[in-house]
Amino acid sequence: MPPADPVPGERSTSVLDLRLVPFAAAAWIGTGVALVAGATAAAVLAGLASVGAAVVVGVSCARSGHRMSAEVPVTAFVLVAAAVFASCFAGTAAVRVHVAETGLVAHLARAGATATVTVVLVDDPKLPASSSPGRQVMVLARAISVSTAEGSHPAGGAVTVFAPAAGWDELVPGQVVTVRARLNTSARAGMTVAILRVSGPPADVAPPPPHQRWAAEVRTRLAAAAADALPTDAAGLLPGLVVGDTSAQLPQTRTDFTASGLAHLTAVSGANVSILLGAVLLVVRAVGVGPRAGALLAGVALVAFVVVARPSPSVLRAAAMGTVALLALVVGRRKQALPALAASVIVLLAVWPSLAVDYGFALSVSATAALVVIAPVWVQWLRVRGWPRAPAEILAVSTAACVVTAPLVAAMSGTVSLVSVAANVAVAPVVAMVTVVGAVGALVALLHAGAAAMVLTTAGPPLWWILEVASRTAGLPSATVAVPDGLAGAAVTLAVLVLLVVGWWRRGSPSAVCLTCLALLTLVRALPPG
């Protein structure tokens, strides 16, 4: 798009601080190679990165007369440091992969053995997309011990359990259970050491820890209050918008949200965190609470939200991304937001290496980066052309997030929603209201169910609007188009987006628009899906 002119009275866009970005990218690449290609490839990458770093330093010093001084380009030092960083992350991830691959659980999985495994759940049981309701659930867990004919042995590693819904659907994270399961290897890259296939209910079910009991109570009472106050479709949608609980969501609602590009609203994301923390900060400022006390209250609210939404890696990732987005959009510290985002990526990858190959992590990081880097520029561009601030921000934020995530969505699902931007712009004014009202209703439900139902009744009209937008946009002809999945789909989508940006840069001239539309249709129809 054309460069934005300054808007009188507006804050100017500060220069971005990119110093941590190469290190975040290096950490991501190094960890991803270790998980996808294995420990050997990671070791090779670490060696090549080290050699490359030495070559860069040598060439730079030679060009500067063998003097290690300011004459040596800063870029060379950044590349060297990033290469070393990639080596460290690749090596660390390689060690963790090796430990996981050589453990007892992985050995039994490669043999297709049957064993008694004790696990601790790390997430709620969920219904897989390919499973019929009530038949089978999937739950992420961590192995604690394995019992075979030779006896009981300590174990470790992430596992995925597939089991009948009966006896499993009421379990919550933190509970320790024992199962008799057939073990298989996982086909997906990551730190999952085995797939556990269970044919019955768990045995020796331990009670959940106190904080998870409280979280389960909050979620249950919120769902009950929503069912009392709202129509069935809205009652199933509200818990998903507030805490990511989609257990009561109707199948048609799920289909409409996927086709319209609104499915991200019902997953715990950085947007939830930004909205809730923003509401807390507004309240504490309105009542005159000081900055330190306000920050403390916001921190307490963040911890409470993470506990209720479940402290899984995906939720903690959303908490980190949401905090960064809030820093960029509410506080206005765009210059500091990008280093905070890069630092969050580095820390999250260090703690949970499997995020390097997680689509949700990539979507969250890219969407947050769009809010920090692209959206402010687009807001200024719209403002100098007469747009009021609120509509400009809604359009810029929704468009930026959709544009940067579209190639990833195409690679993941093999489809692209052509109505995603319009749907997200249409619902943006009411999403924050629903989220805040739902959060207040969840707190009130702990005290009085009837009062909570009265609070949640006010969310009825905006929920109706969100459902209506999803249904109408999903029902439009060619609301979604099929593209090749994987890298091919991402490349096709990226090419189309580049042409669209070129058309915008040409200020929407008829020839540019026609060329863009023709390219869109040609690229999408030429390559078959799959």
Longest dimension (CA), the chain: 79
Kindly write down the DSSP assignment for every residue of 220-275, as one continuous string: HHHHHHHHHHS-HHHHHHHHHHHH---TT--HHHHHHHHHHT-GGGGS--HHHHHH
How many Å is the Cα radius of gyration of the chain? 25
Is the separation of the CB atoms in 289 and 337 below 8 Å? no
Structure tokens at 476: 């439009």
Kindly write down the DSSP assignment for every residue of 400-413, as one continuous string: HHHHHHHHHHHHHH
Residues 6+ away with beta carbon under 8 Å from 443: none
Residues 6+ away with beta carbon under 8 Å from 386: none
Fold of 110-208: OB fold (Dihydrolipoamide Acetyltransferase, E2P) (2.40.50)
CA distance 274 to 312: 18
**Per-residue model confidence as pLDDT tens for the chain (530 residues):** 444 444 444 444 457 778 889 999 999 998 998 888 876 777 677 677 767 767 766 776 666 655 555 545 666 677 778 888 888 888 888 888 888 888 899 999 999 999 999 999 998 888 776 555 557 899 999 999 998 878 888 888 899 999 998 889 889 999 999 999 999 998 877 788 999 999 889 988 899 999 999 999 999 999 999 999 999 999 999 999 999 888 889 999 999 998 998 988 887 777 778 888 888 888 888 888 877 787 788 888 888 998 998 887 778 888 887 777 666 655 555 677 788 889 889 999 998 898 998 888 898 889 888 888 888 888 988 899 899 988 888 888 888 888 898 898 888 888 888 899 899 999 999 999 999 999 999 999 999 999 999 999 999 999 999 999 999 999 998 888 888 888 888 888 888 787 777 666 655 554 555 555 555 555 555 555 44
pTM score, two decimals? 0.82
pLDDT of residue 121: 94
Return the SS3 of 171: coil
pLDDT of residue 132: 53
User: Pick from 178, 31, 39: which is nearest to 102 by CA?
Assistant: 39
CA 76, 82, 85, 87 torsion: positive or negative?
negative
Is the separation of the CB atoms in 146 and 116 below 8 Å? yes
Q: How many CA atoms lie within 13 A of 262 on its CB side?
A: 30
CA distance 149 to 356: 37
Tallying the residues shown for the chain, one arrives at 530
Cα dist from 503 to 134, 338, 375, 489, whole Å: 49, 28, 18, 21
Cα dist from 214 to 308, 313, 349, whole Å: 8, 20, 29
Helix pair angle (313-329, 359-369), 10° resolution: 0
